[in-house]
Copies of this chain bind each other. A is one copy, B any other.
Amino acid sequence: MIRIAVDAMGGDRGPDEVVAGAVDARSDEVTPVLVGPPELDTQGLELIHAPDVIGMDEKPTDAVRTKPNSSLVVACRAVREGRAEAVVSAGNTGAMLAACLLEIRRLRGVRRPAIAVTIPSPEGASVLLDAGANADARPEDLLQFAQMGAVFAEEILGLRNPEIRLLSIGEEPEKGNQLTLDAHELLAASDLNFTGNTEGRDLLRGGADVVVTDGFTGNVTLKLLEGTIRNLLDAFREEITATARGRLGGLLIRPAARRLRERLDPDTYGGAYLLGLRGLAVIAHGNSSRRAIANAVRLAGRGVANDVTGRLAQRVGDTVLESATSTTPTPT
């Protein structure tokens, strides 16, 4: 039985929505464990007490330090203490990152954890990372993101020998900024199935299994993708409902529109992994619905069942050992 700690107080829609999602995710394999105040209506789920709450607008590091008994920090601590194997929160992303680093801590050899987001596409899902854990990154970070993304693609998306690409401004190796030029060299020299650069235009077309980028570009990209899809569908509805003919057509295409929305719905995945920790953490959207929460808990369960953390430790650990033997340290 896999136990998943769920931060009941995270998310814009309030604890009832989170509890409902956790209840929906309960199965023969997965037991959600709520973390929140004693008075919470748990709908029969187990509760770990945590009296405090971290708000969406609080400063991440301050909040985590001054509120050790907040639902978010206690949920992360539950993973450290072995009371749960993974944590899910739809709360403040920055605070989640800080709490995970403090309580769950990084895997040995991991320079920086990365947020791995699943991007839906007609040709099958792909994973984009880092989607925003680190605003600034170095070439070696991007190499590690690629290694971690490969494990994610293998274990969660079920792909063999996943194709890795670097997000850049042209497919040629000499196109990019200094960061991507240097990262390109490292990736090309690695044992990964690295097939070169990819451009933003191919992201929704499933141009690669794993798309690697720094957290700034990744976060801009992700928000742009979500915003463009939403704005475009809204603009389309507006044009359609502007005429009687369009409104009739709109009624007829409603099932098609629903299928498209489902294909692109971020709730289908429910959340993003924070990869590179000594335990599994899933960050859900702030405005997660009950369905999104349930899928985030299932995603966490799948990660535990496939031992993503162990595979990451092995993969990144191997690299650490390799580089330890292949590099002679230079005294400075």
Interfacial residues, chain A to chain B (CB-CB below 8 A): 122, 132, 135-136, 167-169, 175-178, 180, 199-205, 214-217, 219-233, 235-236, 238-240, 242-243, 245-246, 248-257, 259-260, 263-264
Contact = CB atoms under 8 A, between A and B. Distances in A.
9 contacts: A135-B169, A169-B223, A177-B215, A221-B224, A229-B232, A232-B232, A245-B252, A246-B252, A249-B252
A168 B167 CA distance: 17
B240 A256 contact: yes
Given A132-B169, A177-B214, 7 more contacts: A169-B219, A200-B221, A201-B223, A202-B227, A236-B260, A240-B253, A243-B255
Given A245-B252, A253-B253, A235 B220 contact: no
Nearest to A248: B252
A235 B263 contact: yes
Contact of A225 (B215, B226, B228, B253): B228
B216 A203 contact: no
A177 B228 contact: no
Contact of A204 (B201, B231, B243, B253): B231
A227 B205 CA distance: 8
Nearest to A137: B177
